Amino acid sequence: MTIHKPLQTDKNIDVVSLDETLASLDLAGRLSFVAGLGGRVVFTTSLGIEDQVITAAIGTHRLPIEVATLETGRLFPETVALISETEERYDIVIRRYYPEQDDIDAYAAKYGLNGFYESVEARHACCHVRKLKPLAKALEGASFWITGLRRGQSGNRASTPFAEFDAERNLIKINALADWDIEAIRAHVSEQSIPVNPLHGRGYPSIGCEPCTRAIKPGEPERAGRWWWENDEKRECGLHVADASHATVLSSPSQQ
């Protein structure tokens, strides 16, 4: 058993116990429990349907969880509009984290503004500038990072735990919807009249930056429309791929 002491909380956290506790709670209970552990709790939303479910729970229950989004500068207009709509609906602030203009200029000079189509390296470099660096700012000093990752989103996410230690960021990552399937998400959104991105209704189950997301065909995996030109089933933007597996984290954070 490994006990973790995330930043800015005086509590030592046993991630295995936390995972088990969260498994026994409903969504609001999970969020509320984590918010009560102390320290800074940040939820990063992409405004996708899963994240809207979490934002609605935070807003409805007035939970002391910061809501942040990575405004990459390449989002769909529908996504940008949904940020404001969601703020108004739940009377919350969604803090936008932007890339640095100097980084964007340097990227464009080296690869071209849309150089991400040319190679995996160029794509990762763009995600680094527009997503990973702003994410690092959003999570600075946080003890807990809430995400909307689900096991059913892709094979790569099939073993997503409720709680895992993120050694790279020295915080505990909480995947509050890990066990929800897409049908449950849609039913909840419908019951609660939660605002969602209209692109979901046009064949986009997973929505990222506009130039890197396309609609999927019937029968394709949920994330098939993300970086579709790359022939790699594990393609991710890098926000979540640094995570070691639950078991590895628990056995030895230093092995990551």
Binding site for ligand SF4 (CB under 6 A): 72, 74, 116, 123, 126-127, 130-131, 208-209, 211-212, 237
Angle among Cα 241, 245, 251 to the nearest 5 degrees reads 140
Closest CB to ligand SF4 among residues 31, 135 = 135
In the bound complex, what is the minimum distance in angstroms from residue 183's beta carbon to ligand SF4? 27
Q: Give CA–CA dist 176/55, Å, rounded.
A: 11
One-character DSSP codes across 207-243: --BGGGB-PPPTTS-TTTTBSTTS--TT---SSSTTP
Is 127 catalytic? The answer is: no
DSSP H helical segments within the chain, as ranges? Answer: 15-23, 27-35, 49-60, 77-90, 101-111, 120-127, 133-138, 182-192, 246-251
Closest CB to ligand SF4 among residues 57, 209 = 209
The backbone torsions φ and ψ at residue 216, rounded to the nearest 5 degrees and listed phi first, read: -100, 160
Q: Give CA–CA dist 183/241, Å, rounded.
A: 25
In the bound complex, what is the minimum distance in angstroms from residue 234's beta carbon to ligand SF4? 15
Closest CB to ligand SF4 among residues 123, 188 = 123
Q: Which residue is nearest to ligand SF4 (CB)?
A: 209
In the bound complex, what is the minimum distance in angstroms from residue 123's beta carbon to ligand SF4? 5
Burial 179-207 (b: 16+ CB within 10 A, else e): ebeeeebeebbeeeebbbbebbeeebbbb
Closest CB to ligand SF4 among residues 15, 129 = 129
Closest CB to ligand SF4 among residues 9, 147 = 147
In the bound complex, what is the minimum distance in angstroms from residue 1's beta carbon to ligand SF4? 37
Q: Give CA–CA dist 231/245, Å, rounded.
A: 23
Q: Which residue among 126, 127, 209, 237 is the active-site one?
A: 237
Closest to 67 measured CA to CA, from 49, 47, 81, 82: 47
In the bound complex, what is the minimum distance in angstroms from residue 206's beta carbon to ligand SF4? 11
> Which residues are known catalytic residues?
237
